[in-house]
C-alpha cells in the first residue's frame, strides 16, 4: 500500500480509499492490483506481462496505451546514478507516466500547479498514473531497487523536460519504514 504525505501540511494519508480520493483531486490515478497470482517477483518480463495481461489490456483501452514493458532497476544496474539523476529533478513528459510496481519501493513527488507538493511512496501492488504535463520527480528508497510494468502511448514522449525551478531541492526523498535515501551529491 502506498503512503501519501503532504510535507508542507505535515499530513500523512495511509488509508487506501483516502489515498485514491486525495490523489484523484490532483489528477493522479491510484489503484491497487491483486498481486497474489503465482508469479515470482523476479520472473522474466514476458511472464510478468502475461500474468497481468488482463489489467494491462484494460489500462490500454482506457488510456490509449499501445505498449507495455518491464523496467528493472537495482544497485547492479549499469549507470544507475546517471539514470536516477535524470528523474530526481522536477520534470514533465509529453506522455503519461504509468507504473505498476512489482517489487521495490520509490517516491514520486507531485507538484500540482496549485496546491501543496505531494509525496507518494509506492510499493508492490501499487498502480500510479501521472498524466502528461504533470510536474513531478522520482527517487528510489534505501534498497535502491524497483521493478515495474510501464505503459506507453508513445515511447518517444518519455524523455523528461525539466522545469529547472529547483522546487525538488526543498523536499527530502523520505521513505518510511526506516528506509531513507539521502540526497545524492
By beta-carbon proximity to Fe ion, the closer residue of 97 and 123 is 97
Q: Which of residues 85-144 bind Fe ion (CB under 5 A)?
A: 97
The CB-of-86 to Fe ion minimum distance in angstroms stands at: 9
Q: Which of residues 1-40 bind Fe ion (CB under 5 A)?
A: none
- Binding to Fe ion by CB under 5 A, coded x per residue (else -) over 39-78, reads ----------------------------------------
The CB-of-40 to Fe ion minimum distance in angstroms stands at: 28
The CB-of-85 to Fe ion minimum distance in angstroms stands at: 13
The CB-of-43 to Fe ion minimum distance in angstroms stands at: 26
Using CA atoms, how far residue 1 sits from 106, 125, 128, in Å, is 12, 7, 12
By beta-carbon proximity to Fe ion, the closer residue of 47 and 161 is 161
By beta-carbon proximity to Fe ion, the closer residue of 162 and 180 is 162
CA distance 174 to 154: 31
By beta-carbon proximity to Fe ion, the closer residue of 97 and 168 is 97
> 66-71: which pairs have CB atoms within 8 A and are 24 or more residues apart?
66/152, 66/153, 66/154, 67/151, 67/152, 67/155, 68/149, 68/150, 68/151, 68/152, 69/45, 69/149, 69/150, 69/152, 70/45, 70/102, 70/147, 70/148, 70/149, 70/150, 71/146, 71/147, 71/148, 71/150
Residue with cell string 502475461: 50
By beta-carbon proximity to Fe ion, the closer residue of 51 and 107 is 107
Q: Which residues bind Fe ion (CB under 5 A)?
A: 97
Amino acid at each position: 500500500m502506498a503512503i501519501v504525505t503532504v510535507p508542507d501540511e505535515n499530513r500523512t494519508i495511509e488509508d487506501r480509499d483516502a489515498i485514491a480520493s486525495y490523489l484523484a483531486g490532483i489528477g493522479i490515478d491510484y489503484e491497487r492490483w491483486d498481486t497474489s497470482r503465482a508469479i515470482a517477483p523476479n520472473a522474466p518480463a514476458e511472464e510478468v506481462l502475461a500474468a497481468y495481461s488482463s489489467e494491462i489490456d484494460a489500462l490500454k483501452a482506457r488510456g490509449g496505451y499501445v505498449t507495455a514493458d518491464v523496467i528493472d532497476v537495482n544497485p547492479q544496474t549499469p549507470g544507475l546514478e546517471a539514470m536516477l539523476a535524470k528523474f530526481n529533478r522536477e520534470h514533465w513528459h509529453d506522455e503519461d507516466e504509468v507504473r505498476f510496481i512489482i517489487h521495490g519501493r520509490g517516491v514520486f513527488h507531485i507538484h500540482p500547479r496549485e496546491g501543496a507538493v505531494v509525496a507518494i511512496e509506492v510499493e508492490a501492488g501499487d498502480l500510479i498514473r501521472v498524466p502528461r504535463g504533470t510536474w513531478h520527480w522520482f527517487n528510489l528508497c534505501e534498497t535502491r531497487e524497483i521493478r515495474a510494468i510501464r505503459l506507453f502511448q508513445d515511447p518517444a514522449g518519455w524523455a523528461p523536460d525539466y522545469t529547472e525551478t529547483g522546487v525538488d531541492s526543498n523536499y527530502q526523498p523520505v521513505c518510511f519504514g526506516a528506509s531513507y535515501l539521502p540526497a545524492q551529491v
